[in-house]
Amino acid sequence: MSRLIVISNRVSVPKAAGAAGAQGGLAVALNSALREHRGIWFGWSGQEVEEFTGHLDMQRNQGVTTATIDLEPQDIEEYYNGYANRTLWPLFHYRIDLTEYDRNFGEGYERVNARFADSVRPLIEPDDLVWVHDYHLLPLGSLLRAKGVKNRMGLFLHTPWPPTRLLVSLPFHERLVESMLAYNVIGFQTEEWLNSFLHYLEKEMGLPIGEDGHVEYQGRKILCKAFPIGIDFKEFTEGANSDEAKEAHDKLKASVRGRKMLIGVDRLDYSKGLGERFESFGRFLADNPEQASQVVLLQIAPPSRGDVASYQQIREDLERKTGHINGAYADVAFVPIRYVNRGYPRRQLAGFYRAAEVGLVTPLRDGMNLVAKEYIAAQDPEDPGVLILSQFAGSALQLKDALQVNPHSIEHVSETIKLALAMPLEERRRRHEALYDSVRDTDVVYWREEFVRALFGEEATPDTRESLQIDQTA
């Protein structure tokens, strides 16, 4: 019977969890996918050990078996802080101004990918499906192939894939992309990132692209396809109806004392457009003085990747901007921006989302953005809030009934805040209904089933599909 072996940099075991909510959407989505499957989730524990031993820590938590390894300080510096978060992350988010090309980072990246391959290899049985996640582990599939793994293997990239003109600024880009072609399936969040990847294969490698998204390389067929990720709709909406969510809602509502509220929830990351968002809110206050004391922005921003300088800078920048706006518009009993540097459990977040008249999701570039979907799922359908969504988030391709904005345009976002706050109930309901249906129908279960189905490929049989609980009628 086939099992699913999921491999990602970060594994959501209590030991690795850190502050509530600081793990981001990948951990949230995979936890939910793994609960449904027999199988193993393998990755880094998030812990540091003086010297790498390869020791596997196996645990079973809430129905999910995890296997984790600890990494040594040089690994974390060169692989996680270095190549993953100072080279690939900014490059994949179109920020070549922040991208650092340090050869040591590349070496650390290859070393840690080799360590992942050595450690996970003994766990893989002949019938297993192997599902690798994200930019930390692009070459892992080819390293496993070199170790004799013949299983079907898939890669899902949670971030954007950059245009070819940007990607070619990466030294050894050819080697990186070629290593990805060891997978049987390569998945992206949206058609936009998929098309950028196919463009690279065509223009830089001269590979013909089949109409169905198949690429032929060295006699093998690789399926390249978009699989937009969703939220765990069932779990989230159950949580949104919990006492914890209601309490969080009521407390927050009481604290704003009749004022309208906008909410932002983002890891403290420059890709999330927080600086531009604060400036836009400041512009709204300046342009609408009659509303300036009647509107509050709650920004929840748990710190992320704090060892990387660009993340320290964004933190300083936001503190300065918050101080500036609050200094200008606060009075003794009121501050317009509540800027909170900590994470909250999702049940409480659900209560916060529901208490806010406007969800402000304005990344400059984002693979998907699950917060946008959670905001919709948390609303009261009778009196829903309005989602303002960046046109550069992957989720914008699905959430067409949101008020879409260009987050770089301070004026546009400021005007859209005004529009959202004044939107009549009927229009709010109409937009929400369409958004809600989309969030419900393309949830994380749908995403997982679609990807696993593709991973099975032509070898899927009713028996193996049943063993992975794939909908037999789909």
Ligand X SMILES: O=P(O)(O)OC[C@H]1O[C@H](O[C@H]2O[C@H](CO)[C@@H](O)[C@H](O)[C@H]2O)[C@H](O)[C@@H](O)[C@@H]1O
Q: Nearest approach, Cβ of 305 to ligand UDP (angstroms)?
A: 11
Q: Nearest approach, Cβ of 19 to ligand X (angstroms)?
A: 10
Smaller CB separation from ligand UDP, 20 or 423: 20
Q: Nearest approach, Cβ of 415 to ligand UDP (angstroms)?
A: 25
Which residues are bridge partners to 59 per DSSP?
66
Q: What's the CA gap between 138 and 185, in Å, rounded?
A: 12
User: What single string gives the DSSP state of each residue in 96-150?
Assistant: TTT----HHHHHHHHHHHHHHHHHHGGG--TT-EEEEESGGGTTHHHHHHHTT--
Smaller CB separation from ligand X, 128 or 134: 134
Which residue of this chain has its Cβ atom nearest to ligand UDP in the complex?
21
Smaller CB separation from ligand X, 249 or 305: 305
* One residue of 3, 305, 315, 347 binding ligand X per CB under 6 A: 305
Q: State the binding string over 346-385 for ligand X (x if CB under 6 A, else -).
A: --------------------xxxxx---------------
Q: Nearest approach, Cβ of 158 to ligand UDP (angstroms)?
A: 7
- 70, 366, 401, 443: the catalytic one is 366
How far is CA 201 from each of CA 129, 173, 204, 365, rounded to the nearest angstrom? 25, 11, 6, 23
Smaller CB separation from ligand X, 215 or 370: 370
Smaller CB separation from ligand UDP, 21 or 39: 21
Helix/strand/coil percentages in the chain, nearest 5: 50, 20, 35
Our answer to whether residue 366 is catalytic in this structure is yes
Q: State the binding string over 372-401 for ligand UDP (x if CB under 6 A, else -).
A: --x---------------------------
The answer to the question of residue 302 lying near ligand UDP (CB under 6 A) is yes
Q: What's the CA gap between 184 and 141, in Å, rounded?
A: 9
| Residue 300 interacts with which of ligand UDP, ligand X, none, CB < 5 to 8 Å by class | ligand UDP
3-state secondary structure of 234: helix
Alpha helices in 257-329 (DSSP H): 274-287, 309-329
Residue 212: both structure tokens together: 């169905």
Q: Nearest approach, Cβ of 330 to ligand X (angstroms)?
A: 32
| Residue 12 interacts with which of ligand X, ligand UDP, none, CB < 5 to 8 Å by class | none
Of 371, 375, 346, the C-alpha closest to 261 is 375
Which residues are bridge partners to 186 per DSSP?
155, 224
Q: What's the CA gap between 256 and 243, in Å, rounded?
A: 20
Smaller CB separation from ligand UDP, 152 or 346: 346
| Residue 159 interacts with which of ligand X, ligand UDP, none, CB < 5 to 8 Å by class | ligand X
Stretch that binds ligand UDP, among 23-31, 253-261, 399-407, 413-421 (CB under 6 A): 23-31
Q: How many residues bind ligand UDP (CB under 6 A)?
A: 18
- The side-by-side arrangement of strands in the sheet containing 220-226 is 57-61, 64-71, 39-48, 4-10, 129-133, 153-156, 185-188, 220-226, 214-217
Q: Which regions of 234-294 does DSSP assign to beta strands (E)?
A: 260-265
Q: What's the CA gap between 136 and 158, in Å, rounded?
A: 11
The conformational region for residue 303 under phi > 0 = left, psi -120 to 50 = alpha, else beta, is beta
Of 347, 342, 361, the C-alpha closest to 304 is 342
Smaller CB separation from ligand UDP, 180 or 350: 350
| Residue 134 interacts with which of ligand UDP, ligand X, none, CB < 5 to 8 Å by class | ligand X
- Check: CB of residue 251 under 8 Å from CB of residue 348: no
Instruction: Report the half-sphere exposure of 174 (CA within 13 A, side-chain side).
Output: 6
The answer to the question of residue 26 lying near ligand X (CB under 6 A) is yes
- Check: CB of residue 215 under 8 Å from CB of residue 183: no
State which amino acid sits at residue 6. Answer: V
Stretch that binds ligand UDP, among 124-132, 330-338, 343-351, 435-443 (CB under 6 A): 343-351
Tell whether the torsion through CA atoms of 345, 403, 377 and 236 is positive or negative.
Answer: negative
- 158, 232, 266, 443: the catalytic one is 158
Stretch that binds ligand X, among 20-28, 107-115, 349-357, 457-465 (CB under 6 A): 20-28
Q: State the binding string over 74-113 for ligand UDP (x if CB under 6 A, else -).
A: ----------------------------------------
Window 130 to 159, contacts with ligand X (CB under 6 A): 134, 158-159
* One residue of 349, 378, 399, 410 binding ligand UDP per CB under 6 A: 349
The conformational region for residue 417 under phi > 0 = left, psi -120 to 50 = alpha, else beta, is alpha
Our answer to whether residue 249 is catalytic in this structure is no
The answer to the question of residue 248 lying near ligand UDP (CB under 6 A) is no
The answer to the question of residue 343 lying near ligand UDP (CB under 6 A) is yes
Give residues in contact with ligand UDP (CB under 6 A): 21, 24-26, 28, 265, 267, 300, 302, 343-344, 346, 349, 368-371, 374
Where in the sequence numbering do the catalytic residues fall?
Answer: 158, 366
Q: Which residues bind ligand X (CB under 6 A)?
A: 10, 23-27, 29, 134, 158-159, 229, 304-305, 366-370
